[in-house]
Amino acid sequence: MDFETNTNSKPVLLAVLAHPDDETFGMGGTLALYARQGAAVHLICATRGEVGMVDPEYMQGYDSIAERREHELRCAAQTLGLAGVHFLDYRDSGMPGTEDNHHPRALAAAPLDEVAAKIVGYIRQLRPKVVLTFDPIGGYRHPDHIAIHEATLRAFALASDESFEADGLPPYQPQKLYFYTISRRFLRLAVRILPLFGKNPHKWGRNEDVDLASLAVEDFPIHAAIDISGVQELKVEASHCHESQGGLTNTRGLMGWILRRGDQKESFMRAYPSPEPGVVESDLFTGITLQ
């Protein structure tokens, strides 16, 4: 759909995520696609990825990991064509079971209603037609991903509640809410192939703290599959912005091959309105009233 030829004002798509790089490594193709089609695509990023591991070579010229990762996010946002990036200013909580989970500013430790209220403010201000966030397990069980999923779900309900006050902004009801979920087909392919190259699918990632095999057995329904083949190179280019998070290496070699084999479509489950049984949408704006 070419939005610019169908409406005088750009419809808004809002992604609510946790860290710099979530916008690219996950749903980056979808965000780039709708930006290219004329939507105003906005991102809420809850943290600045302060706990991410960054090699010293990437810290030259930066005072903190947060500063480095914010720079990378803004680079990726420009590449993907995002209209705006908005921070909630919480702290990265780290992976499950780490001390960072309990930091007083950690997103995972923040009161749910507090985080949700901040998101409500942006929903009422930006007035998105469609809202995106993580699936119920946050993709790979990261505490921040799960926290922002729960807060977004709460905010989606509160945004239209006339009794809920948010900076004097009027109530607003987005028309759709989707959860991005990693393709199980892609995960199962990765689990089969990685051992052939001496890689352990139970210990994946930079810190070997992601169990791909356990994720592959989770089964979330797919209600929308978005073809990103036309913008895949934009997603790759945006990935390169995230150098400190392996954005260059992730698109090369074995991982690059796996990603290109399984990354032609991005998958979403629909939370609102209730999905129609057996229907898999090819457009997140299907059924949306644009005026």
Residue 143 lies in a domain: yes
Residue 62 lies in a domain: yes
pLDDT digit string, tens, across residues 63-104: 999 999 999 999 999 999 999 999 999 999 988 888 999 999
Q: Tell me: pLDDT of 225 over 90.
A: yes
Query: Which residue type occupies 131?
Result: V
- Highest-confidence segment of 18-32, 87-101, 197-211, 235-249: 18-32
What per-residue confidence (pLDDT) applies to 53? 80
Question: Distance between CA atoms of 86 and 46, rounded to whole angstroms?
Answer: 8
Q: For the residues 192-218, what does the mean pLDDT come to?
A: 83
Q: What is the residue range of 32's domain?
A: 3-183+221-250+266-272
CA proximity to 90, closest of 166, 13, 31, 17: 17
Residue 90 lies in a domain: yes
Beta-carbon count within 10 A of 96 CB:
12
- The pair of three-digit structure tokens given for residue 260, joined into one six-digit string: 């290109």
What per-residue confidence (pLDDT) applies to 18? 98
Contacts of 156 (CB under 8 A, 6+ apart): 123, 131, 174, 177, 271, 272
Task: Tell me the CATH number at 54.
Answer: 3.40.50.10320
Q: What percent of the chain has pLDDT over 90?
A: 71
What per-residue confidence (pLDDT) applies to 186? 79
Residue 214 lies in a domain: no
What's the pTM value of the predicted model, to 2 decimals? 0.92
Three state DSSP letters for 197-223: HCCCCCCECCCCCECHHHHHCCCCCCC
Distances (CA, A) of 148 to 43, 80, 180: 13, 22, 12
Helices (H) and strands (E) in the chain, counts: 10, 7
What per-residue confidence (pLDDT) applies to 262? 56
* Strand bridging mode 130-134 / 12-17: parallel
pLDDT digit string, tens, across residues 264-291: 899 999 999 999 999 999 999 999 998 7
Query: Which residue type occupies 85?
Result: V
Q: Are 19 and 237 in contact (CB under 8 A)?
A: no
What pLDDT band is residue 188 in, cutting at 50, 70 and 90?
confident
What pLDDT band is residue 5 in, cutting at 50, 70 and 90?
low
Residue 174 lies in a domain: yes
Mean pLDDT lowest among 34-48, 117-131, 176-190: 176-190
Residue 152 lies in a domain: yes
> With 0-12 CB in 10 A as exposed, 13-18 as middle and 19+ as buried, what is 60?
exposed
What per-residue confidence (pLDDT) applies to 263? 66
Q: Are 228 and 272 in contact (CB under 8 A)?
A: no
Q: Are 71 and 241 in contact (CB under 8 A)?
A: no
Looking at the structure of the chain, the number of domains it has is 1
Residue 288 lies in a domain: no
What per-residue confidence (pLDDT) applies to 219? 86
Q: Tell me: pLDDT of 193 over 80.
A: yes
C-alpha neighbours within 13 Å on the C-beta side of residue 31:
34
What per-residue confidence (pLDDT) applies to 131? 99
What per-residue confidence (pLDDT) applies to 7? 52
What per-residue confidence (pLDDT) applies to 253? 54
- The pair of three-digit structure tokens given for residue 195, joined into one six-digit string: 């051992």
Q: Tell me: pLDDT of 252 over 80.
A: no
What per-residue confidence (pLDDT) applies to 9? 82
Residue 290 lies in a domain: no
Distances (CA, A) of 276 to 112, 135, 223, 273: 30, 19, 8, 9
Q: Tell me: pLDDT of 4 over 80.
A: no
Q: Which residue has the higher pLDDT, 200 or 69?
A: 69
Q: What percent of the chain has pLDDT over 70?
A: 91
Partners of 108 in beta bridges = none
CA proximity to 32, closest of 265, 232, 268: 232
What per-residue confidence (pLDDT) applies to 212? 86
Q: For the residues 111-137, what does the mean pLDDT come to?
A: 98
Distances (CA, A) of 51 to 43, 121, 149, 209, 284: 20, 27, 20, 14, 33
Q: Are 12 and 42 in contact (CB under 8 A)?
A: yes
